[in-house]
Structure 1
Amino acid sequence: MPQTVRPKEDTPALVRPGALRTSIKVEPLTCTIGAELSGVNLGDAARDGDLFAEIKALLLEYKVLFLRDQDITRAEHIAFAGRFGPLEDHPVVGSDPDHPGLVRIYKDLDSKPEHYENALHCDATWRACPPMGAVLRCVETPEVGGDTIWVNMAEAYRRLPEHIKTQIAGLRARHSIEATFGAVMPTEQRHELKARFPDPEHPVVRAHPETGEQILFVNAFTTHFVNYHTPENVRFGQDYAPGAGSLLNYLISQAAVPEYQVRWRWQKNSVAIWDNRSTQHYAVQDYWPAVRKMERAGIAGDKPF
């Protein structure tokens, strides 16, 4: 694997810091989202602050980054992800006992049928502070199938009709773990899960805390608007139900527009790094009975505004 290039000691001061430090090659994958990086090892980036800073800047630009041939250890995986911020466990899936924050997403013949991934979603918006992002590494993948799709939700907002932007300005919505992960649980266990994670409300359009972009922030975890039923929006009952539901479904459907998407075909030791604040993703489950094993480090985020 190519090594990072170190600057000479006599490098002129006018050279941008880090400009000679890395051999990262950047290949955009679509016109709106995603880039593949080569010439960099994430184990090195876990130990090199300047190299990490370059990767983070690229992430803010492209929203999801892809790398091949990342034969890194689990310790390096969580060390790299931890540079973005504290890691968090998943309350249902759990994490590796020796590497807190590293979730094993293993799908094999012994796995129960699960369909929460094959929906366009933004990770854990059922948290009051959804994750900032994640670093996902492929351990084992089918020869064919098992791709993942990511979507640029800033572009989805930007290209909404102006009258829709006006209509949704200031709207807020609920997001639920009970109605998704909890749906298959016995009633008592489902209620206990909701007690631990009460449905938060988030803005329908959030601002990215680092780029300032406006982002359409509804997805498969979103259940309903909380402040739609006003005289401006509702004349008769039909304006609220099904009117509000139809609007929410329309907004959620924007993630299915191919022009906002990138699709990634996995190989062993491939890695995806994504900004969960501005994207959604969809894990295509077309590969059974083949095996697919992934390991993900989720990064804690902030409260949407």
Structure 2
Amino acid sequence: MQDTIDPDVEPVATPTGSFEVHPLTVHIGAELRGVDLGEVSRNSDLFAELRSLLLRYKVLFVRDQDISRAEHVALAERFGPLEDHPVAGSDPEHPGLVRIYKDLDSPAEHYENAYHCDATWREAPPMGCVLRMVEGPPVGGDTIWVNMAEAYRRLPEEVKARVEGLRARHSIEASFGANMPVEQRLALHERFPDAEHPVIRTHPETGEKVLFVNAFTTHFTNFHTPANVRFGFDYTPGGSELLNYLIRQAAVPEYQVRWRWTKNSFAIWDNRSTQHYAVQDYWPAVRKMERAGVIGDKTF
């Protein structure tokens, strides 16, 4: 289990002194200084230290990293193989480096402001992501990350007992597919059928219990049992209200860290224990991001 972060006034020392670590909140997030992510992508010892810090802080931030796309990909591949995205476009010369470009030609419906854990509509959601701002607005366009292990830990005990063992569906059809013509949407669903995950996931490395429902979650799959449902109202809207209550936990400020982007700043996050929210308050300014997502494990 991971210790609660203590955001000291002075930076936190690491075992080898390779990084200067500045915790940003009590529960999540740290900024690394004196770091060259290009060098980390080539140095096994530096990467091992960075990975250890990621497990502790859940999201790491680094500014002023004018590294190449190849180095960006190489850093992400240290964590594991990369995945493409079926809707967002990838850089043609660097498969797995997804371009999230929001400019004046982006349709207004291409929203991104929802608390979510990346690609939980996959049977094996991403382990984590490495994201760079290529170009950003002069103000606005921040991203919020949420510690969903802390969100679980702070649930009332009676809610923990109620959701133990529950499973839920996650859908790309009902999210990315919602604005597609029906034939295209159904084809997307056929290619990526809804995935089912436990409502409470156990982190495979830290052993933490994590609240694992988000904007991609549509419904519980094993709620309609005699233990939970006496009458129809217990199931609908009863089950839906419980799910919405759980999803809303990501909006609690005490579980969050907010990052102000600058050009060539990076965020590296553990997708298994966090959610994030890309604040869409910068129109008509431009926001261009490049993201490398790392293939993860099945949640069981």
- Interval of TM-score (by shorter of Structure 1 and Structure 2): over 0.9
Contact preservation (8 Å) 2:170, 2:194: yes
Deviation at 1:23, TM superposition (A): 3.1
Contact preservation (8 Å) 1:119, 1:282: yes
Q: Deviations over 1:227-268 (max 9, x none)?
A: 000011000000000000000000000000000000000000
For 2:191 and 2:150, the matched residues in 1 are separated by 34
Q: TM-score, normalised on structure 1? A: 0.93
Deviation at 1:160, TM superposition (A): 0.1
Tell whether 2:44 aligns with 1:49.
Answer: yes
Contact preservation (8 Å) 1:116, 1:181: no
For 2:20 and 2:233, the matched residues in 1 are separated by 54
Q: Deviations over 1:260-300 (max 9, x none)?
A: 00000000010000000000000000000001111000100
Q: Which has the greater radius of gyration?
A: 1
Tell whether 2:234 aligns with 1:239.
Answer: yes
Q: Name the structure 2 match of 1:194.
A: 189
Tell whether 2:63 aligns with 1:79.
Answer: no
The one-letter amino acid of 2:57's match is Y
Runs of 4 or more above 3 Å deviation: none
Q: Which runs of 5+ in 1 are unaligned?
A: 1-17
For 1:116 and 1:196, the matched residues in 2 are separated by 23
For 1:23 and 1:274, the matched residues in 2 are separated by 19
What is the aligned-residue identity percentage?
76
Contact preservation (8 Å) 1:116, 1:180: no
Where 1:44 maps in the other structure, the secondary structure is: helix
Q: Name the structure 2 match of 1:29.
A: 24
Q: Name the structure 1 match of 2:217.
A: 222
Tell whether 2:102 aligns with 1:107.
Answer: yes
The equivalent position to 1:292 in structure 2, one of 259, 271, 287, is 287
Q: Name the structure 2 match of 1:248.
A: 243
For 1:30 and 1:207, the matched residues in 2 are separated by 23
Where 2:258 maps in the other structure, the secondary structure is: strand
Q: Which runs of 5+ in 2 are unaligned?
A: 1-13
Where 1:181 maps in the other structure, the secondary structure is: coil
The one-letter amino acid of 1:184's match is N
Q: Name the structure 1 match of 2:92.
A: 97
Deviation at 1:19, TM superposition (A): 4.4
| Matched positions, count | 287
The equivalent position to 1:158 in structure 2, one of 144, 149, 153, is 153
Q: TM-score, normalised on structure 2? A: 0.94
For 1:288 and 1:266, the matched residues in 2 are separated by 15
